[in-house]
Structure formats: structure tokens, C-alpha cells
């Protein structure tokens, strides 16, 4: 019996095509969106505007890459919006107090983010509280802590901060560079390291992973550290472009981040998703936003469009899940 | 041949109820042992003790002459024991090679040495004649191929003992043949096999020695040559029924209530016909995977069915459980913890769950708590549920038997015509079992029909007016009460025609 025969047995070409389309729904939408806006306004396809899309996508994108780690385990991290605010704020205080430069500040921000993520991990792994509740609580806690530190006042960074945010290396804007480095690193970790593959295993079958000898607690906790550190970095990079930090910075952004990750193919049930997908998801959202501007569409339609696109992508995911569930239904009799 | 694995007076009891008692047995290195017994005979408990999932309450195991006490599954793997379960333990989103190495990847500079794992996996797959690439995602493989991947994992872990637990359940005949070839090859390599199956002819064919468990006891064992299929069946049965069941108080009426004809769903059921008359208890027997629960779910409208018809009181039933409940169908699932009860909610809220709409009052349909409480209290007395304050006490605080009474009670409050009871006494102590049996008799005496699904032959022989036997999704026979005979029933379930 040929293994290939077994796989395609009883599936018509149209079914195979449907599976393929569902699996790559986001890419298809992305292609359609770019084509549509390109026809509407050819200027949209110019390198500068596409570069702009990626640059603006980097903020949500970096955090979405971290979020993908969490979603892969079947968890969720609602605190990223607050981490985006608090971690760079701590870095700002440190820079001011110790006269640190921007690169050192960046390191402080990422470390602070990692610590905040470790707090999430502690409650989720040690005390076995579900991730949704833990990170909902820290969403308020982290922002509340920042508000208390600043008395809700805006925090101004030194001018070097802005210089860093607007700098570029070899003609590539720094935010894009950071985005690319994070994406590449995440891709390598997820697809090429034992840690990465164990994340996938955990998301597929937590009990099975435990039985197979995977250190489930360590893996599960680490993804929240990764997520928060990524959110901190994302926040720092965007703030560097603005030069100051408002009390409302990052508020509600957790939903953009989750949306981007899900749009990139990450499943909320765990086990499915990739770093590359998060990049695509974040970029797609930004493409739509900027594309609508180029096409001269009423700006207030933008959230509706974003919602619709997320809806379609998630619908595709759920349809795919259902098809998988049906194909896995337990068979008592060999169906020849 | 020396003993690879030896059990010495091994015992395991759950809350005082023995699952395996004083078992002494050894498996010779390089031999294939067939382990058989009815559902609940203690096979799974024994396997779980070997696998480090369950700790023995007494006795010990010796592995290659040394005491062996695994604390977790990884210990069993490390010792060289591999399990091939019916439900496979593979990560469907990872590749074949990654599944083999998930507990310890070889790395270079922190990254997985993909070339190394690919090469080694390829070599193992070749030994099994499995023509798939190591990079194939497991989710894309057929059940038979996945099973071979599981065996590849065993080979990769250098397992000396490979335990197969009902491995052929979801395989096609060709895949089964290939599996048997592979098992033959494992034996030729000197690996030891434990083979557990309900398909006795397979056991006879594959194994060198056979051990029979019944009620946790080793009741028969010896070389396979000495065992023919009738002896296996005879050894598996036998237990006194006196005093375990209440007498049946009424005879079934002539009116058919529930009639299911020619139910067919590819891969699940094949031409199943069942009738339940008024006041009748129909027992549905079958081994694990015979399709009993699947039939129940189809009758209740939870799962789709391709062909056949289901009638109640002579009229076809609507699709879906809602309409069927309204027509008088009730279903007590085999899994009361997950499907039957809201564990945190009060007894009263659970009792009112099915009939809640009957207690709606006024245009807004607000629940009349007092009426509900009165009716629930009545049900509590009827069912003799042992509880204090049914309005406050959560269901999880009840014993298994009383929980089951709540499940039955919530349906009783809607006065159903036909009850489908799936393993209603599983995990229930003897005293509560008797009360549930008495309840079944009362429901039947009141004129409702009951489809009683059970893995315990004795339970069905004690309670049913008629027993229908299923095997692999088909009905293989039916017996009236006067013809009840354990051996005949088991033979139908095993599909063994030998006299």
C-alpha cells in the first residue's frame, strides 16, 4: 500500500484544494488586499509606501511574534498592552537615574519585560491559575503600577531616544531591522531548537508531552517571558520614534497583537502557528490601514475592514479545525 | 529463557475495591504473552502499573531480575518498555522524526541536528518497511501508519518489551496484516511482546503464552498451544449473580416504543436494528469499541447517521437531541463527570436541568424556584439521594452512586418514554448499584422502555429482558431472558463461531 494512496484516499481534488485554501487563507487575503489597493492606487506599490507599511507594522508585529509563542501552547497573554507601557517606563527611569544610553535602556526594557512575564508565568505554572485570568489581572496591575509611578503624567525621554528611533542602518530604518531580527530569531527558535519543538508538542497534547518527558512547566512558563520581553521591546521601539510616553500608551493593544497572531495562522487551541505567520498577520493589518488611506476611503471604515478581515481569517481557521475533527472521528469499523 | 518481567503478588485497589489482586506471573525474555479478560478484568490497571501511571498497593515487579518501581511514564521508557495504545501518543503537528526525538533532541550549537535525526529515523522506518519521509507531519498519516510510527518510537528507545493494547481496533485488514508482520519481526529480533486484544484468534496466532484475568485475578495461564478459543472464553467468564440484583417486578408490554431500523454510518455502524418495547429493559452488550456508545449517541441525535430510520411511538424522530428530548428520549451518558453533571452547581439545579422550562412562570419565563425546589425534593426522596440541603450542596460533594442518581433523576423529572443508560453503574459501589438497579426496574414497571448499555455481562443478565450483542459496529445476535448464557453472549461479542 502506498502511503500516498492512504492520504489522498477518498478525497476529491476540490476537497484537497479547499483544505489548501483554508490553510493559507491569510496569504490569499494578503494577496487580494495588495492587488486591490495596487489597482486602486499604483503609488501604494512604491517601495517607500510598502517600507512604511512594514515599519509601522513592526510595533504590533514584534509583540505578535511573542504572542505566537503563548498561543502555540494554547495559552493567552492579555497583559502585553500594559507591558508595552510599563517596561519602557522602567527603562526610562533607569536611563534618567543612571545616565544610561539608549542601547542600555533597550536592554533594561527587555529585561523588565522578561521579569513581568515571569510574574505571569509564576501564577500560571506554580499556582495553576488559567492564563486568561492571570494576564487579565496583570493587565490592570502593570498599568496601575506605571500610573502610580508617574502619577499619570507623560514621561519625556532624552533627545537621543528619538534619534535612535528615527535612525537607520545601511538605509534600513531601525524599527524594521529590529522587527527582522526578532522574526528571524523567533523562527529559528520555534522551528530549529528542542525548546521550540516542545512548545508545539505541548500545544498539541499537554498530557502527551508530560508523558513523553517534556518539562512542561518550564516550557509553559518560558513562553510568557518571551511574550512580555517581546512586548517590552515593541513598546520601546515605538516610543523611541515618538520620544515620550503617555499614560495611555499601549492601551487596548493586546487585542491588535492577538489579532495579528491569529491572522497569521496561530490557533487559539494551541499547536498551530509560526513566527513568519505573525509577521504576515501584523503586516496585513497595517497594509489594510495604509491602503485605505491611499484609496481615499473614509478613515472610519478602517476598523470595520480590520474586523472583517480578522473574522474571515478566524472563520477559515475554525472551518479547518472542524474538518480535521471530522476526519479524526473514531472509527470502529475499518472504512475500506 | 530467563524472566524479563516478573510480578510478585502484585495488587492494586481503588478505595478498597481490588482491581488487581495478588497477581504472580512472569514473562520470558523474547516471548509473546497474550493477555485477555473481559472489560474491567484488570488488564488496564496492570498495564498502568507497568507503565508507571499507577502505583501498586502491594507486591512488586522485577525487571530483568531487579526490583522495578516506576514513578512516572518516563521511568518505564527509560527501562526499555514501550506501549502501543489504541489511542496513540503522537504529536500530530510534528514530523515523524520530531516525534521520535521529542524527549531529547541531539543538538549542534543549540539547534536540532536535523540531519542526524532524519538519518536515524529513516533507518528505523526502513526496518519497519514504512515508506514515508521522516519530515512528514504525523497528522497526515493514516491510523495504520501512525501506529508504525509509534512502534518506530519504541525501536528508537531500544525497547526490550513492547506492549500492544488493542492495536488493531482502527486498522484496515491490510494494515492489520502489516502490523502482524512487524510484530513477527520484533519477535525475531528477540524483543518481548505483551499483546492485549479482544480478538482471540489474533491472540492465539501471535502469542506463545496466554494469561487470563478475571475480576483482577489471574484465573488461567499456560502455553498458547494448550489454549483454544473456547477455553479462553470459559476462563474469562464465571461469577455468581445471587443477591446482586433486585427481582424484576413487571413483564414488558407488546407495544414497541423505540424502533431503530438499518442504522448505517460508514466507519461506525453497519445495518443496526434495535427495538425497545414499553416496560422492557433491553441490554446492549459489546466489548470496548463495539459501537454501543456510538449507537446511543446516534439514537439520541448527537451524531449523524447516513442511512436507517428511528421511530418513537411509531412516528419518525426529528433530528438533533432537543426535538428528541421533547418527544420523550433521555440519555444518561457513560461519562457523568464531563457530560452528565454540572459538578459545581447544586443538586437542585442539576435535577432541574432537563425540565427547567416546565418551571418558567409569567411572560418572562422566570424560574419558579419554590416549585422547582418542591419537585426536586420529591425526586430526592424518590431516588433516596443521600444529601443534606439539595438547594445548596454541590453535586461534586456526593458519592459516585448518588451522583448517578442525580443524573437519572434530572431525566426522570421530565417523565421520559425511553431511557438510554450508558454504563449507569460504572464507578459505583455495590450498595448504590443495587439501588440503581431497583430504580431501573421501577422505571420499566411504570411503562417506559430502557436501553441499558453495559460492559458487565452479569449486570445485563440480571436486569435485561432481552440482550442485544454488538461487535465492530454490527449487531451479532440477540437473546431472550430464558436463553441467557454467558458463553453464548461472549461468543457473539467475540464473533467466535467455534462450538
**Domain residue limits, chain B:** 3-236, 256-494
Task: Note the CATH number of domain B3-236.
Answer: 3.40.50.300
**Which residues in chain A show pLDDT less than 70?**
1-11, 324-336
Cα B473 from Cα B71, distance rounded (Å): 38
**Count of CB atoms situated within 10 Å of the CB of A105:** 26
For residue B111, give the nearest of A215, A251, A185, A41 by alpha carbon. A185
The verdict on B260 touching A (C-beta cutoff 8 Å) is no
In chain A, the residue whose alpha carbon lies closest to the alpha carbon of B108 is: A193
C-alpha cell at A82: 500594559
The verdict on A271 touching B (C-beta cutoff 8 Å) is yes
Q: Is B484 exposed, middle or buried (0-12, 13-18, 19+ CB in 10 A)?
A: middle
CA of A285 to nearest chain B CA: how many angstroms apart? 27
Fold equal for B3-236 and B256-494: yes
Cβ-Cβ contacts under 8 Å, A213 against chain B: 73-74, 77, 103-104
Cα A62 from Cα A77, distance rounded (Å): 14
Give tens-digit pLDDT for A46-59: 888 888 899 999 99
DSSP assignment of B135-193: TSBGGGS-HHHHHHHHHHHHHHTT-SEEEEESTTTT--HHHHHHHHHHHHHHHHTT-EE
Task: Note the CATH number of domain B256-494.
Answer: 3.40.50.300
Give tens-digit pLDDT for B89-138: 899 899 999 999 988 899 988 899 999 999 999 999 998 888 899 999 99
C-alpha torsion angle, residues A227, A232, A238, A242 (rounded to 10): 160
Cβ-Cβ contacts under 8 Å, B139 against chain A: 324
Q: What is the DSSP letter of B319?
A: S
Residue among A193, A214, A333 minimizing CB distance to B270: A333
Cβ-Cβ contacts under 8 Å, A3 against chain B: 130-132, 136, 141-142, 145
Residue among B102, B144, B291 minimizing CB distance to A214: B102
- Per-residue confidence band for B239, with pLDDT thresholds at 50, 70 and 90: low
Cβ–Cβ gap B93/A208 under 8 Å: no
DSSP assignment of A117-165: HHHHHIIIIIS---HHHHHHHHHHHHHHHHHHHHTT--EEPPHHHHHHH
- Once rounded to an integer, what is the mean pLDDT over residues B351-360? 83
Cβ–Cβ gap A331/B267 under 8 Å: yes
- Test the B interface: residue of A2, A334, A335, A336 with most B CBs within 10 Å: A334
The verdict on A10 touching B (C-beta cutoff 8 Å) is no
Q: Are the C-beta atoms of B236 and B260 separated by less than 8 Å?
A: no
The verdict on B103 touching A (C-beta cutoff 8 Å) is yes
Domains and their CATH numbers in chain A: 40-316 (1.10.3470)
Give tens-digit pLDDT for B365-402: 788 888 888 888 888 888 888 777 888 888 887 777 78
Q: What is the pLDDT of residue A100?
A: 92
Residue among A1, A197, A271 minimizing CB distance to B105: A197
Cα B288 from Cα B453, distance rounded (Å): 12
Give tens-digit pLDDT for B47-68: 989 998 889 999 999 999 999 9
The verdict on A7 touching B (C-beta cutoff 8 Å) is yes
SS percent in chain B: helix, strand, coil, step 5: 35, 25, 35
Positive or negative, the CA dihedral B314, B320, B323, B324 is positive
Strand B66-68, strand B58-63: pairing: antiparallel
- Per-residue confidence band for B241, with pLDDT thresholds at 50, 70 and 90: low
Cβ–Cβ gap A333/B268 under 8 Å: yes
Q: What is the overall mean pLDDT for chain B?
A: 87
Cα B423 from Cα B443, distance rounded (Å): 17
Q: What is the pLDDT of residue B494?
A: 84
Cβ–Cβ gap A3/B110 under 8 Å: no
Cβ-Cβ contacts under 8 Å, A2 against chain B: 131
Q: What is the pLDDT of residue B498?
A: 39
Amino acid at each position: 500500500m502506498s502511503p500516498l494512496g492512504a492520504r489522498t484516499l477518498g478525497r476529491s481534488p476540490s476537497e484537497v484544494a479547499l483544505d489548501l485554501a483554508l490553510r493559507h487563507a491569510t496569504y490569499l487575503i494578503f494577496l487580494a488586499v495588495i492587488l486591490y489597493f495596487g489597482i486602486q492606487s499604483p503609488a501604494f506599490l512604491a517601495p517607500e509606501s510598502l517600507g512604511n507599511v512594514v515599519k509601522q507594522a513592526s510595533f504590533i508585529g514584534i509583540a505578535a511574534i511573542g504572542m505566537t509563542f503563548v498561543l502555540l501552547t494554547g495559552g493567552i497573554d492579555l497583559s502585553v498592552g500594559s507591558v508595552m507601557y510599563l517596561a519602557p517606563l522602567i527603562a526610562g527611569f533607569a536611563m534618567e537615574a543612571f545616565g544610561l544610553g539608549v542601547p542600555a535602556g533597550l536592554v533594561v526594557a527587555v529585561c523588565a519585560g522578561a521579569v513581568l512575564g515571569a510574574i505571569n508565568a509564576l501564577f500560571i505554572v506554580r499556582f495553576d491559575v488559567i492564563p486568561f485570568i492571570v494576564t487579565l489581572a496583570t493587565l490592570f496591575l502593570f498599568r496601575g503600577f506605571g500610573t502610580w509611578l508617574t502619577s499619570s503624567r507623560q514621561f519625556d525621554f532624552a533627545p537621543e531616544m528619538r534619534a535612535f528611533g528615527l535612525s537607520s542602518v545601511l538605509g534600513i530604518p531601525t524599527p524594521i531591522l529590529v522587527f527582522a531580527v526578532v522574526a528571524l530569531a523567533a523562527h529559528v527558535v520555534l522551528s530549529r531548537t528542542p525548546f521550540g519543538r516542545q512548545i508545539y508538542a505541548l500545544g498539541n497534547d499537554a498530557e502527551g508531552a508530560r508523558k513523553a518527558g517534556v518539562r512542561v512547566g518550564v516550557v509553559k512558563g518560558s513562553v510568557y517571558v518571551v511574550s512580555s520581553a517581546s512586548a517590552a521591546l515593541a513598546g520601546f521601539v515605538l516610543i523611541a520614534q515618538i520620544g515620550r510616553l503617555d499614560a495611555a500608551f499601549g492601551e487596548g493593544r493586546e487585542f491588535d497583537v492577538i489579532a495579528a497572531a491569529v491572522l497569521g495562522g496561530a490557533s487559539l487551541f494551541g499547536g498551530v502557528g509560526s513566527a513568519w505567520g505573525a509577521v504576515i498577520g501584523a503586516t496585513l493589518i497595517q497594509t489594510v490601514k495604509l491602503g485605505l488611506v491611499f484609496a481615499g476611503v473614509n478613515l472610519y471604515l478602517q476598523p470595520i475592514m480590520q474586523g472583517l478581515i480578522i473574522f474571515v481569517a478566524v472563520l477559515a481557521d475554525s472551518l479547518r479545525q472542524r474538518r480535521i475533527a471530522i476526519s479524526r472521528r473514531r472509527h470502529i469499523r475499518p472504512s475500506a | 529463557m530467563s524472566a524479563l518481567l516478573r510480578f510478585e503478588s502484585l495488587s492494586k485497589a481503588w478505595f478498597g475495591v481490588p482491581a488487581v489482586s495478588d497477581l504472580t506471573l512472569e514473562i520470558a525474555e523474547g516471548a509473546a504473552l497474550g493477555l485477555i479478560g473481559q472489560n474491567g478484568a484488570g488488564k488496564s490497571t496492570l498495564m498502568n502499573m507497568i507503565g508507571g501511571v499507577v502505583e501498586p498497593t502491594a507486591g512488586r515487579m522485577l525487571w530483568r531480575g531487579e526490583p522495578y518501581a516506576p514513578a512516572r511514564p518516563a521511568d518505564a521508557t527509560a527501562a526499555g518498555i514501550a506501549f502501543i495504545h489504541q489511542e496513540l501518543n503522537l504529536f500530530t503537528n510534528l514530523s515523524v522524526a520530531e516525534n521520535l526525538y521529542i524527549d531529547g533532541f541531539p543538538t549542534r550549537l543549540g539547534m536540532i541536528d536535523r540531519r542526524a535525526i532524519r538519518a536515524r529515523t529513516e533507518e528505523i522506518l526502513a526496518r519497519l518497511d514504512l515508506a514515508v519521509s521522516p519530515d512528514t507531519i504525523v497528522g497526515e498519516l493514516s491510523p495504520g501508519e501512525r501506529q508504525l510510527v509509534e512502534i518506530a518510537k519504541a525501536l528508537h528507545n531500544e525497547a526490550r518489551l513492547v506492549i500492544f493494547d488493542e492495536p488493531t481496533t482502527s486498522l484496515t485488514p491490510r494494515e492489520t496484516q502489516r502490523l502482524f508482520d512487524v510484530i513477527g519481526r520484533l519477535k525475531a529480533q528477540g524483543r518481548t511482546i505483551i499483546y492485549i486484544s479482544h480478538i482471540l484468534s489474533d491472540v492465539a496466532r501471535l502469542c506463545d503464552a496466554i494469561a487470563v484475568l478475571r475480576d483482577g485475578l489471574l484465573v488461567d495461564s499456560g502455553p498458547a498451544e494448550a489454549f483454544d478459543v473456547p477455553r479462553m472464553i470459559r476462563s474469562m467468564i464465571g461469577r455468581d449473580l445471587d443477591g446482586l440484583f433486585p427481582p424484576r417486578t413487571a413483564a414488558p408490554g407488546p407495544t414497541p416504543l423505540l424502533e431503530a431500523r438499518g442504522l448505517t454510518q460508514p466507519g461506525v455502524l453497519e445495518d443496526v436494528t434495535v427495538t425497545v418495547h414499553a416496560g422492557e429493559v433491553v441490554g446492549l452488550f459489546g466489548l470496548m469499541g463495539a459501537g454501543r456508545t456510538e449507537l446511543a449517541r446516534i439514537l439520541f441525535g448527537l451524531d449523524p447517521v447516513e442511512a436507517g430510520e428511528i421511530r418513537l411511538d411509531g412516528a419518525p424522530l426529528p433530528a438533533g437531541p432537543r426535538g428528541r428530548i421533547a418527544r420523550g428520549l433521555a440519555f444518561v451518558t457513560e461519562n457523568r463527570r464531563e457530560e452528565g453533571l454540572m459538578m459545581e452547581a447544586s443538586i437542585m439545579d442539576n435535577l432541574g436541568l432537563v425540565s427547567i422550562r416546565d418551571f418558567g412562570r409569567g411572560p418572562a419565563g422566570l424560574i419558579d424556584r419554590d416549585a422547582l425546589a418542591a419537585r426536586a425534593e420529591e425526586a430526592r426522596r424518590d431516588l433516596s439521594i443521600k444529601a443534606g440541603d439539595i438547594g445548596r450542596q454541590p453535586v461534586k460533594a456526593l458519592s459516585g452512586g448518588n451522583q448517578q442518581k442525580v443524573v437519572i433523576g434530572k431525566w426522570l423529572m421530565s417523565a421520559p418514554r425511553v431511557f438510554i443508560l450508558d454504563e449507569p453503574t460504572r464507578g459505583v459501589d455495590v450498595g448504590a448499584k443495587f439501588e440503581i438497579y431497583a430504580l431501573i426496574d421501577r422505571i420499566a414497571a411504570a411503562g417506559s422502555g430502557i436501553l441499558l448499555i453495559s460492559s458487565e455481562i452479569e449486570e445485563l443478565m440480571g436486569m435485561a429482558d432481552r440482550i442485544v450483542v454488538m461487535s465492530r459496529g454490527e449487531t451479532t445476535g440477540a437473546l431472550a431472558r430464558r436463553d441467557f448464557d454467558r458463553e453464548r453472549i461472549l461468543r457473539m461479542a467475540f464473533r467466535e463461531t467455534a462450538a
